[in-house]
Structure 1
Amino acid sequence: MLEDKFGRRFHYLRLSITDVCNFSCNYCLPDGYQCDSSRDFLTLDEIRHITQAFARLGTSKIRITGGEPSLRKDLTDIISICANTPGIEQVALTTNGFRLKRDISQWKNAGLDAINVSVDSLDPRQFADITGQNKLAIILEGVEQALEAGVKVKINSILLKQYNHNQFDTFLNWVKHQPLTLRFIELMQTGDNQAYFDANHFSGMPLKNRLLQQGWSQIIRDKAAGPAQEFHHPDYAGRVGLIMPYSKDFCASCNRLRISSTGKLHLCLFAEQGLDLRSLIHAGDQQALQNELINLLGNKEATHWLQDGFTGATKNLAMLGG
């Protein structure tokens, strides 16, 4: 089992397969994707070696991320590799949803269990203003198809003071009849968004207090679950989640590690650097790779230090898929 010096166990791998994204969300890539680094992304064989190594060390959940992972033509093959790795019990995908309607059936058939879709506003004009894409309608159609296919769906919505802070009721009315989880995520500071962060960040705590006052109950988190605090209400088909990285003891329950699209281990989304595993991955020596993962985990720190303005090597969230 992968366990750090603070007793945290790591059941969850976030695997980035590209840093390319076709959206230009104003909180992440306001100028669009800039190709300023190597695009020598992990191959299918390398991905197979990674998933096997993590599975043998107790990882039971893999989330495939980007950039935008559906820009890779071999995404279905990647899902299949993860789903057919002994020990992996859940395969999830995070996407902007632009290919969801077209491809959800083949992803499901390949072994996809769950999907997270970014929807920062339910107003089409505001959605286009945030993302640079007028695609809300087709994305929501894809969400419906995913639910009909039996895929577990979560909607990710970044809390933005200048955009969607007053849309909480609209979102709640939507989730009342939708069997999905709607997650509000506090905007995080990255290396290139200081001014935007200052203008748009606000805490999710008032939303949590409001949910509790309105009869929502907090759900106990599964060992392989992400960092969201989730809530349910008997009158609602869906659930609501809050991800508040600036809250007290946020990192105490950390259970996830990250591999970048070029084969670097990131012990934290905001680590000072990625730790290169490419030569070991390429060599296919499972035991050596497992030993190195165990060794490097000893460097994981207790917290991300975001509260002190430290953003590490993370210039934008597309680098590692959040």
Structure 2
Amino acid sequence: MLTDAHHRIIDYVRLSVTDRCNLRCTYCMPENMRFVKSDALLTDAEIISLLQTLASAGISKVRITGGEPFMRPGLINLLSAIKAIPGITQLAITTNGVLTRDYIPALQQLGITDINLSLDTLQPARFLQITRRNQFDAVMQTLHSLLAHQMKVKINVVVMEDVNTDELVHFTSLTRDHALSVRFIEEMPFNGQGHTFSGIAWNYRTILDAIRETYPLHKLPDPPHATALLYSIPGHQGNIGVIPAYSRTFCGTCNRLRISATGSIKTCLYGADTINVKDLLRSGAPLLPALQQVLHHRAANGFEAEKQHPRIPESMSVIGG
């Protein structure tokens, strides 16, 4: 088993399969984003080899991220190959939903039912303002299709002051008639703009207080390693959660690694890149000893990691979500 410097077992990998995206969300990437060339990305064969090695060391859950994963050619074939790796028991996807609808039957056939849908507004005009693309209808069609196919849907909502805080109750209302989860996420500094991030006014406490003005919230037990604080509402089929992504209250139980589309490893979202697994794979160097070495120097939490790497100009699409 892979373990870090604080005796935490690492069994979860978030793997970006592309840095490309068909949206330009203001909190995620600049309009003039420069994407890497295709030969700089991990190939399908390298991804499979990498995950086979990681599975042999106890990695059992993989979440596919981007950029937008469905912009990678041949994604369904790659997902099928990942599903076949012994030891990988959970395979999930985070998507913006623009291209996803046509792939839902194939995902269901593969047994991939855990889908996180990034959606920060329920208003078409505001969607255009946030994403700088006119794709609201496509995303909503994906959401309705996911629900019709009885997929396990989580809607990820980044809460932004003076942008969408007036929609917290509207998003929460979706859980009344649908067995989905709405996750409200604190805004983070990874917008690719390169400017200083001064913090947030809408933290997880503020978000919960605003929702409580309309709905009674009952705390649910948090699963092991959970990043979200979960709540139910009487009479609602679904639930809500708040993710203290900037407050970082969940760091003590972190069990994950992040791997970028080019193979860079982050042992913490707020930390620097460590080793590059693509380079190790292409050189034939042993992977697990190098990975265990960087884990032995892993920061205890996001605040410590940020002190070690104080300025983070990356786009979230490059980090991998």
Contact map agreement 2:169 2:211 (CA 8 A) in 1: no
CA distance in 2, matches of 1:260, 1:160: 25
Show the counterpart of 1:217. 218
Confirm or deny: 8 A CA contact 1:11 1:58 kept in the other structure: yes
SS in 2 for 1:167: helix
Extract unaligned runs of 5+ from structure 2: none
2: CA distance, partners of 1:289 / 1:308 = 27
Cα distance in 1, alignment partners of residues 239 and 71 from structure 2: 29
- The equivalences for 1:1-322 within 5 A come to 1-35=1-35, 40-190=40-190, 192-193=192-193, 197-198=197-198, 202-209=202-209, 214-223=215-224, 226-247=226-247, 249-282=249-282, 288-305=286-303, 313=312, 315-322=314-321
Instruction: Check 1:141–1:36 CA distance in 2 against 1; reply closer, same or farther (3 A cut).
Output: closer
Distance in 1 between the 2:36 and 2:143 partners?
Answer: 33
Distance in 2, matches of 1:138 and 1:248, equals: 33
CA contact (8 A) 2:274 2:294 kept: no
Residues 141 and 303 (structure 1 numbering): CA distance in 2 closer, same or farther, change over 3 Å?
Answer: same
Using a 3 Å threshold, how does the CA distance of structure 1 residues 52 and 226 change in structure 2: closer, same or farther? Answer: farther
SS at match of 1:275: coil
User: More displaced, 84-93 or 132-141?
Assistant: 132-141
Structure 1 residue ranges without an equivalent (≥5): none
Are 1:55 and 1:87, in contact at CA under 8 Å, matched by a contact in 2? yes
How far did residue 10 of structure 1 move? 1.6
Which deviates more, 291-300 or 309-318? 309-318
TM-score when normalising by structure 1: 0.89
Q: Please state how far the C-alpha of 1:165 moved relative to its aligned partner.
A: 0.9
| Distance change in 2, residues 1:41/1:259 (3 Å) | same
SS of corresponding position for 1:59? coil
Could you tell me which amino acid in structure 2 is paired with residue 120 of structure 1? D
8 Å CA contact 1:16, 1:259 repeated in 2: yes
SS at match of 2:2: coil
Equivalent-residue separation in structure 1 for 2:114 and 2:18 (angstroms): 19
Range moving further from structure 2, 18-27 or 143-152: 143-152
Give, in whole Å, the separation in 1 of the partners of 2:174 and 2:80: 32
Q: Give aligned pairs, total.
A: 319
Alignment partners' CA distance in 2, 1:300 and 1:6: 8
Q: Which amino acid aligns with 2:320?
A: G
Report the RMSD for the aligned CA atoms in angstroms: 2.6
Q: Which amino acid aligns with 1:216?
A: L
Higher mean C-alpha displacement, 121-130 vs 7-16: 7-16
Closer, same or farther: CA 47–303 of 1 in aligned 2, 3 Å: same
Partner-residue secondary structure (3-state), 1:79: helix
How far apart, CA to CA, are the structure 2 residues paired with 1:162 and 1:199?
14
Amino acid at match of 2:289: N
| 1:206-229 deviation digits (Å, cap 9, x = unpaired) | 223455684322333334x55111
1:111 CA displacement: 3.5
Partner secondary structure for residue 188 of structure 1: coil
Q: Distance in 2 between matches of 1:318 and 1:278?
A: 18
Runs of 4+ in structure 1 off by over 6 angstroms are 306-309
The separation in 2 between residues aligned to 1:246 and 1:299, in whole angstroms, is: 22
- Distance in 2, matches of 1:281 and 1:194, equals 31
Q: Is the 8 A contact 1:60 1:90 kept in 2?
A: yes
Change in CA separation of 1:191 and 1:138 when aligned onto 2, cut-off 3 Å = closer
Residues 162 and 200 in structure 1, CA contact (< 8 A), matched pair in contact too: no
1:109 is displaced (CA, Å) by 1.9
Offset at residue 116 of structure 1 (A): 0.8
Cα drift, residue 314 of structure 1: 5.1
1:52-108 deviations in whole A, cap 9, x for unaligned? 122122222100011111001111022112211111111111111101211111122
| Residues 261 and 320 in structure 2, CA contact (< 8 A), matched pair in contact too | no
